[in-house]
Amino acid sequence: MRDLSIYIHIPFCVRKCLYCDFLSYAASAAEMKSYVNLLLRQIKAESVFYRDHRVVSVFLGGGTPSLLPAEEVGGILRAVRENYRMADEVETTIECNPGTAAAEKLKDYITYGINRLSIGLQSTKNEELARIGRIHNYETFLNTYQAAREAGFTNINIDLMAALPGQSIASYRESLERVTALLPEHISAYSLILEEGTPLYDRREQYHFPTEEEDRNMYQMTKEYLGEKGYQRYEISNYAREGFACRHNQVYWQRGDYVGFGLGAASMVRDVRWSMPESMGAYQDYVEGMPVRVDNLSYRHFPGAYVLTIQEQMEEFMFLGLRMMCGVDCRTFDDKFGQEMEAVYGPVIAQMMSQGLIQKEGGRIKLTDRGIDVSNYVMAEFLFE
């Protein structure tokens, strides 16, 4: 029996943030309802493909999943439970934006078995939030956070962002201080990436963005400050108190099996990768064209299904695994690929070690602090031409 993680994409937001290039948009209640019906159909029909899997994590992401009426969320999770074999303990996360889930909704989530809440705060400074077009302010976030605790959530992630327009090292530190004072179990801290085609990109001349060096300093400070407060960095941008690392995300980095339901959602099962269409019309056509239940459903049924070559699997093993602070296990590589990591990557490993960017420890290879600073460079070295 193999472990399976399920991702469910909810592509709706109150309105678009100025930096956002994710698959999300504002929609009417009727549009949301008909989308959920498509999701339910996909979840049920594809379950035959996963008879020898058991579900260890479910992640409702977006977009803003907490925009859905609570009963729709309940219906989606019921469909998963009724059609899939569930592990005894399943990490079930929902992403929630401040102000989109009142106390009642949060209590309903608990009754549906949701045991992890991920709140998109980004900054505790209202002027920084306004500059990137977030719908909430810090006070709204505090209400949502408090309500989540009162509803019974004991595993909460808070998302923060560095390198925001107009952000200083001091204001970023203040965000870190305020957030850690709330004692969440998990903190994600990513740097803003200015994507072409977003309104913030078009207005970039109007703002002062932190320099690359300031961005690096923010990263360094995040690690040191959160370390002092008892949060262990377990991935380049993710920190957790002991026992609260996100199981679902680790599956991506460790290349476990995961299936994505919904618009644009990506899947990878047994080294086969595919993605759902990104346009609603095409997604609807896909779901409506699906057989209701076909016992011999194969991956060939999925749009764009592609079997990764051994080289691509090796590359992913390295560059995804190195994102985690525990690094990659050499024996696991040898067993999986029938070749020693040293035989495949020996020269690259030697070169990276001589530059002080990776280290070997207990049969594992991991990034050093310097390597984390230039992780994109290190990971690119593990790609074959």
Contacts to ligand SF4 by CB under 6 A? 13, 16-17, 20, 22, 24, 62-64, 97, 120
Smallest distance, ligand SF4 to C-beta of residue 334, A = 40
Lookup: tokens for 174: 């203040």
Lookup: tokens for 76: 């989606």
Nearer to ligand SF4 (CB atom), residue 64 or residue 124: 64
Nearer to ligand SF4 (CB atom), residue 64 or residue 144: 64
Smallest distance, ligand SF4 to C-beta of residue 316, A = 25
Task: Report the candidate in 186, 170, 253 with the shortest Cα–Cα distance to residue 218.
Answer: 170
State how far Cα 305 lies from the chain centre. Answer: 22
| Bridge partner list, 8 | 60, 261
Nearer to ligand SF4 (CB atom), residue 67 or residue 372: 67
| Bridge partner list, 307 | 272
**Rg of the chain, C-alpha, whole Å:** 21
Nearer to ligand SF4 (CB atom), residue 120 or residue 260: 120
Smallest distance, ligand SF4 to C-beta of residue 189, A = 15
Nearer to ligand SF4 (CB atom), residue 61 or residue 327: 61
Instruction: Give alpha helix (H) positions in 84-205.
Output: 103-111, 126-131, 138-151, 169-181, 199-202
Smallest distance, ligand SF4 to C-beta of residue 143, A = 17
| Bridge partner list, 361 | 364
Smallest distance, ligand SF4 to C-beta of residue 228, A = 29
Smallest distance, ligand SF4 to C-beta of residue 130, A = 13
In whole angstroms, what is the distance from residue 175 CA to residue 135 CA? 18
- Please say whether the beta carbons of 87 and 3 come within 8 A: yes
Lookup: tokens for 85: 């074999």
Nearer to ligand SF4 (CB atom), residue 22 or residue 306: 22
